[in-house]
Amino acid sequence: MMNKVSKIVMALTLMFCLGLMKVSAQKIGYVDLQEIMTLMPEYKKANTDMESFSKSLEDELKKMSDEFQKKYADFEKNATKLPEAIKEVKQKELQDMQGRIQEFQQSAQENARKKEAELLKPIIEKAKTAIGAVAKESGYGYVMDSNTAGFLYKPDGDNLSGLVKKKLGLQ
């Protein structure tokens, strides 16, 4: 009986030791994705395109607001002279215009978010591809974004940002 127990203990110990030999520590690196992206020429173009898109939305909103202000000022100036029925129609027009302006603002914000995501998607993908290649070449199993990972400590030796920039032809 004792012989069987010692054989089982020996077998479990051997399996445990073999299991430890197969387990290897994964290297974890990090990059500053925002810094990498801002150095990419594609990012600069996307930023310019986004500014242009935003400007066109702002211009349209200003045009709508100016038209509203003009009609409102005209209404205020002539309100006392207008018959009640026309006054009510003008007030309804102004309320409708104000509603359209608010709808446009909300729509413009949503469109701006979508446009930004659309412009950044290929840039992020290109950066992630380069990060993946550098990680494989350098033997890293995981790479984190140092801006979002909340690292309390990060050794400089695991910062892959420089290698990724080099891979992308930046710096």
* HEC profile of the chain: CHHHHHHHHHHHHHHHHHHHHHCCCCCEEEECHHHHHHHCHHHHHHHHHHHHHHHHHHHHHHHHHHHHHHHHHHHHHHCCCCCHHHHHHHHHHHHHHHHHHHHHHHHHHHHHHHHHHHHHHHHHHHHHHHHHHHHHHHCCCEEEECCCCCCCCCCHHHECHHHHHHHHCCC
- Mean pLDDT across the stretch 29-55? 94
Model confidence band, residue 54 (pLDDT cutoffs 50, 70, 90): very high
Q: Is the separation of the CB atoms in 160 and 135 below 8 Å?
A: yes
What radius of gyration do the chain's Cα atoms show? 32
Residue 12 lies in a domain: no
Q: What is the pLDDT of residue 52?
A: 96
Alpha carbons 104 and 56: distance in angstroms, whole number = 13
For the chain, how many structural domains are there in total?
Answer: 1
Residue 44 lies in a domain: yes
Residue 96 structural domain: 21-168
Model confidence band, residue 3 (pLDDT cutoffs 50, 70, 90): low
Residue 7 lies in a domain: no
Instruction: Copy the structure tokens of residue 1.
Output: 């009986």
Q: What is the pLDDT of residue 153?
A: 72
Residue 86 lies in a domain: yes
Mean pLDDT of the chain: 86
Residue 108 lies in a domain: yes
Q: Identify the sign of the CA torsion 30, 34, 40, 43.
A: positive
Q: What is the pLDDT of residue 160?
A: 85
Q: Which of 63-77, 120-134, 155-169 has the lowest mean pLDDT?
A: 155-169
- Mean pLDDT across the stretch 27-46? 92
Residue 52 lies in a domain: yes
Could you give the percent of the chain with pLDDT greater than 70?
A: 82
When comparing pLDDT for 121 and 80, which is higher? 121
pTM: 0.70
Could you give the percent of the chain with pLDDT greater than 90?
A: 58
Residue 4 lies in a domain: no
Q: What is the pLDDT of residue 10?
A: 56
Model confidence band, residue 16 (pLDDT cutoffs 50, 70, 90): low
Model confidence band, residue 159 (pLDDT cutoffs 50, 70, 90): confident
Residue 89 lies in a domain: yes
| Cα distances (angstroms) measured from residue 54 to each of 20, 42, 138, 144 | 57, 18, 41, 32
Alpha carbons 145 and 31: distance in angstroms, whole number = 5
